[in-house]
Amino acid sequence: MASSIVDRKEPSVVRAHAPAVRSRLPSVLRIPILVVLNLGINAALWSFASNFLLPELGRVSKVPPREEDIFSLYSPIARIAMRVLTTWTTWYLSYDFQDVSALTVLTQAPYVYVLATYYGISNYTILAHVTIEVLSYAIPTYLLRPRSIVHRSNAPLRNRFLLNSVQVQVSSALLAMAVYVSMLWGALKIGSLNRHMVSHFEIDTIDLAYAETPVSILGKVFVAGIAAKAFLLNPSIAAQPLSGAETPTSDFNPATSDLQQTVMANVWYFSKRTRTLIQQTTILNTILFANTVQRCLTLTGSDFTGAAGYAFYWLVANTVLGLWFAWVGDTSSDYEPL
């Protein structure tokens, strides 16, 4: 019997992926803790930065509303409400700190462009504002939520090679910058943006706007272009199913389907990558519009029509960028990298 025993190699062990670690923190407490941390970090960083900066933002801000106007769109309550809404949205959508950082940069870009171009706020104050906003949103998320699969280099993704490609990432960021520069430069050259700002904001001079060049605009939207690539394109690339993965499908029967199934079958028929890009663009435009309107209404002489009209320029740019990314990110489903 001993001679019939065949020597075998040690069997290979296929390790299963470790289950995601769930937070032990009660779900009802997560959003309040995120908001408290957000407000606390924001206040602490501004208290520190104010020792080195001039009070420029106070000079261009409206006087705090009277007691009976505390619920106006530019009151402190409105600012807190905007933070709560943004924090809840990013947590509900399972964004990690990198997603939140990119979204924060993009939603602050319209406001800081107005500050720099029409109100003459210094680069130091603008840099401090953006940095504090990003840190106040990103740090709490980093503490309470792990990285998403998109940002874990060892996580299996069909198009991981595109996320790791320097050429793809750099060219996509440059494309985003080009869209923002073209939108702003075109609006300035035809005069529509300047006329709109003068009509709806209390601006002393538009000399800085007249002095704008594509290069100066590029300097102002450089970081926003990188953030747009990270927030819009990369999640859509990561949404491509793994090679050979089976995608469950359901046959649509118009005779037995209800209204929701009919709409989904005839309208929401895009690939997962395209659906992800549409969702990301919609989320970005929604939060950007609300934040830009609320922020711009705090500036002297502004009104709702002016704030909403200015935000519309950025909505158009993001929509055009989403369409571009839908095209440049369209990889063949049977393509395999070498």
User: Rounded CA gap, 114 and 284, in Å?
Assistant: 19
Give the residue extent of every domain in the chain.
30-54+71-149+158-243+252-328
Q: How many CB atoms lie within 10 A of CB 219?
A: 13
Query: Residue 143 has which token pair?
Result: 């503490």
Question: Which residues, other chains included, contact 150 with Cβ-Cβ below 8 Å and sequence gap of 6+?
Answer: 157, 163, 234, 235, 238
Residue by residue, DSSP assigns 273-299 as HHHHHHHHHHHHHHHHHHHHHHHHTTB
Query: Residue 213 has which token pair?
Result: 């060049």
Per-residue pLDDT 10s for the chain (338 aa) are: 444 444 545 444 444 444 444 556 666 778 899 999 999 999 999 999 999 999 999 889 887 766 656 657 777 888 899 999 999 999 999 999 999 999 999 999 999 999 999 999 999 999 999 999 999 999 999 999 988 888 887 777 777 888 888 998 999 999 999 999 999 999 999 999 999 999 999 998 899 999 999 999 999 999 999 999 999 999 988 877 655 444 444 555 565 666 665 655 555 556 788 889 999 999 999 999 999 999 999 999 899 999 999 999 999 999 999 998 987 756 544 444 44
User: Rounded CA gap, 307 and 163, in Å?
Assistant: 36
Q: Determine contact, residues 86/291, Cβ cutoff 8 Å.
A: yes
Question: Which residues, other chains included, contact 231 with Cβ-Cβ below 8 Å and sequence gap of 6+?
Answer: 99, 102, 103, 106, 280, 284
Cα–chain center distance at 306? 23
Is the four-CA dihedral 235, 104, 229, 293 of positive or negative sign? Answer: positive
